[in-house]
Structure 1
Amino acid sequence: MTAGIPKEFLSLEGIDPDVKKMFENARKTLEGLGVDIKEISLPHTNYAVAAYYIIAPCEASANLARFDGVRYGV
């Protein structure tokens, strides 16, 4: 089995040392179980949080649109 780890995740600034340590422990555990770890690239990782803050409210409003007052009252 092969798994990819984005190299951008390994070089994030401001990551908590405990989180990084747990990430490395998980990586070592997977390698110990025979998983082939390959480094991949996700070049747009920096935009993930901005995209989340655009998409999440849109999804919420789309899900709440069914409560428009017509079927369920005001």
Structure 2
Amino acid sequence: MEYQLPPIGTLTTRLAALNSGVQPATIRDWVRRGLLTRCGGTPKRPLYRLTDVEAARTAAKPTRANQRTVKAA
């Protein structure tokens, strides 16, 4: 069940993705990488603080060795 309206100042995974302009899988990846932490909800329906989502969106993302980079022309 999706929340009708999450508590003020929090976002569901779907709403966090919409707010950040990314896919929900990216939000889950940020959690796995430690860039974003859950603040409540259930294991299947986590909630995130709006301020934490904004910080994760602007944070420098770690890169892997041999990762392809896009060169600006």
Q: TM-score, normalised by structure 2?
A: 0.24
More helix by share: 1
Q: Compare relative contact order (CA 8 Å, sep 6+) and give the higher one, 1 or 2.
A: 1
Q: TM-score, normalised by structure 1?
A: 0.24
- Larger gyration radius, structure 1 or structure 2: 1
